């Protein structure tokens, strides 16, 4: 019944798309399903959420494709723990078969893990993840923090200090971080949001409980296409060394955002295949926490411009529950990874990969 209601709401969402001139279909074909070796399949059911994939040209420990992700079957935060995998392909093949490498971090005593990401730098592989209301974030007076480690020969060495920190409760400017090495310094890009509008907290506690209990804000979101969450843009952090705490610099706004969109999770990559055109920063974006499209954005003129045409939509792939994407350019080809909810088991998220020549994609997006 819940799934049928969601399908009806998604149909209503399509009506809002037409009303606000938002394309219903993406420009890329639906992806091929990825199989991922899972040593705990009896618990996680092979669920995959929040994949971060990186292609290492010269390989790391004999493998070129690397991925970190978290299971999240049935929205169970206790199993949302980062794990590392690799894939081997011939040139031009889609990386659809992934092998388990090692666990990165187990379930904390309290709170939960989320939002993992990978960085390959100086011939070393680093993995980062967020901790939310865990024992060590509490001890540091934080609500959330991003922690990191290095990985070699299946041994995980943890950093002593957090990489990114957040003290606010209703504000968060380190959601879904991507760590990048650029011009001899390290940068992290993350979504900066406010979870609830300020006017909510003007109500007495009794009315607040009623608003949350009956999900009044979510109802307004569905009817009018407005969201309880406000997205300010992309938070930029900088650090001189990989194992020290980065400093927050500023928040970079989005441009050309459809009013139905509230960018939620995202990934960043450079167009390093085209040094003659300059090194440009791009992002693939989950357009909203729910009823999301997958979009492409380009950093230009101190903002991230979101292209009008989406890459993937639920309508174009025949699935609901699109979630955090990941993008990479390899040998002139753009690879897009995304997860979507299984049509027969609404608790299960599956991963897919699709591709298109990079120059062809840019031409389509600019038309």
Residue 353 has pLDDT above 80, yes or no: yes
Distance (Å, whole) CA 100 – CA 265:
24
Task: Note the pLDDT of residue 260.
Answer: 83
Share of residues in the chain with pLDDT > 90 (%): 75
Number of domain units in the chain: 1
Task: Note the pLDDT of residue 274.
Answer: 56
Residue 352 has pLDDT above 90, yes or no: yes
Which residue is it, tokens 């041994």? 155
CB 319 within 8 A of CB 340: yes
Residue 344 has pLDDT above 70, yes or no: yes
Stretch among 62-66, 75-79, 84-88, 223-227 having the lowest mean pLDDT? 223-227
Q: What are the pLDDT digits (tens) for 154-164?
A: 999 999 999 99
Task: Note the pLDDT of residue 195.
Answer: 82
Taking the whole predicted model, whether its pTM rises above 0.85 is answered as: yes
Task: Note the pLDDT of residue 8.
Answer: 72
Shortest CA distance to 102 belongs to which of 88, 123, 81, 120? Answer: 81
CB 157 within 8 A of CB 149: yes
Which residues span the domain enclosing 121?
A: 2-366
CB 282 within 8 A of CB 297: yes
Dihedral of the alpha carbons of 249, 250, 251, 253, in degrees to the nearest 10 = -130
Q: What are the pLDDT digits (tens) for 5-30?
A: 666 767 777 788 888 788 899 999 99
Q: What are the pLDDT digits (tens) for 101-152?
A: 999 999 999 999 999 999 999 999 999 999 999 999 999 999 999 999 999 9
Query: Which of residues 228 and 131 earns the better pLDDT score?
Result: 131
3-state secondary structure (DSSP) of residue 149 = strand
Q: What is the CATH number of the domain that holds 168?
A: 2.115.10.20
For every residue of 241-274, DSSP letters joined together read STTS--EEEEEEPEES--TT-----EEEEE-TT-
**222 pLDDT band (50/70/90 cuts)?**
low
The H or E element containing residue 50 is strand 49-60
**357 pLDDT band (50/70/90 cuts)?**
very high
Q: Which residue spans within 61-208 are E strands per DSSP?
A: 63-70, 83-87, 97-103, 112-121, 124-132, 144-152, 155-158, 164-166, 171-182, 185-194
Task: Note the pLDDT of residue 19.
Answer: 82
Distance (Å, whole) CA 185 – CA 265:
24
Task: Note the pLDDT of residue 228.
Answer: 67
Cα dist from 339 to 27, 52, 102, 288, whole Å: 17, 11, 21, 14
Task: Note the pLDDT of residue 12.
Answer: 77
Residue 208 has pLDDT above 70, yes or no: no
Averaged pLDDT of the chain: 90
Task: Note the pLDDT of residue 267.
Answer: 98
Average pLDDT over residues 225-252: 90
Task: Note the pLDDT of residue 1.
Answer: 57
Residue 38 has pLDDT above 80, yes or no: yes
**85 pLDDT band (50/70/90 cuts)?**
very high
Residue 295 has pLDDT above 90, yes or no: yes
């Amino acid at each position: 019944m819940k799934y049928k209601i969601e399908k009806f709401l998604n149909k209503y969402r399509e009506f809002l798309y037409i009303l606000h001139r938002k394309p219903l279909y993406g420009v890329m074909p639906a992806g091929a399903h990825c199989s991922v070796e899972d040593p705990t399949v009896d618990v996680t059911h092979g669920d995959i959420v929040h994949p971060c994939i990186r292609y290492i040209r010269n390989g790391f420990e004999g493998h070129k494709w690397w991925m970190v992700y978290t299971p999240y079957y049935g929205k169970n935060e206790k199993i949302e723990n980062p794990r590392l995998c690799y894939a081997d392909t011939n040139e031009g093949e889609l990386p659809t078969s992934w092998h388990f490498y090692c666990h990165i971090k187990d379930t904390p005593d309290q709170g939960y893990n989320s939002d993992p990401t990978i960085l390959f730098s100086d011939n070393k592989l680093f993995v980062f993840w967020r901790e939310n209301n865990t024992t060590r974030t509490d001890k540091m007076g934080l609500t959330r923090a991003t922690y990191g480690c290095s990985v070699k020969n299946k041994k995980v060495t943890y950093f002593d200090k957090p990489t990114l920190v957040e003290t606010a409760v209703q504000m968060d400017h380190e959601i879904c971080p991507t760590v990048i090495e650029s011009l001899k310094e390290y940068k992290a890009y993350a979504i900066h949001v406010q979870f609830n509008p300020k006017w909510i907290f003007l109500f007495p506690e009794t009315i607040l409980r009623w608003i949350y209990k009956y999900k009044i804000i979510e109802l307004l979101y569905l009817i009018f296409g407005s969201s309880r969450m406000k997205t300010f843009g992309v938070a930029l952090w900088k650090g001189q060394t990989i194992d020290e705490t980065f400093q927050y610099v500023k928040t970079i706004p989005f441009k050309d955002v459809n009013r139905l969109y509230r960018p939620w999770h995202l990934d960043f990559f450079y167009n390093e295949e085209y040094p003659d055109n300059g090194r440009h920063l791009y992002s693939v974006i989950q357009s909203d926490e729910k009823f999301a499209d997958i979009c492409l954005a380009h950093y230009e003129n101190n903002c991230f411009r979101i292209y009008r045409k989406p890459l993937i939509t639920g309508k174009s792939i025949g699935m609901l529950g699109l979630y955090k994407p990941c993008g990479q350019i390899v040998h002139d080809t753009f690879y897009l990874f995304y997860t979507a909810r299984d049509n027969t088991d609404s608790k299960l998220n599956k991963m897919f990969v699709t591709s298109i020549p990079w120059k062809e994609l840019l031409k389509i997006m600019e038309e």
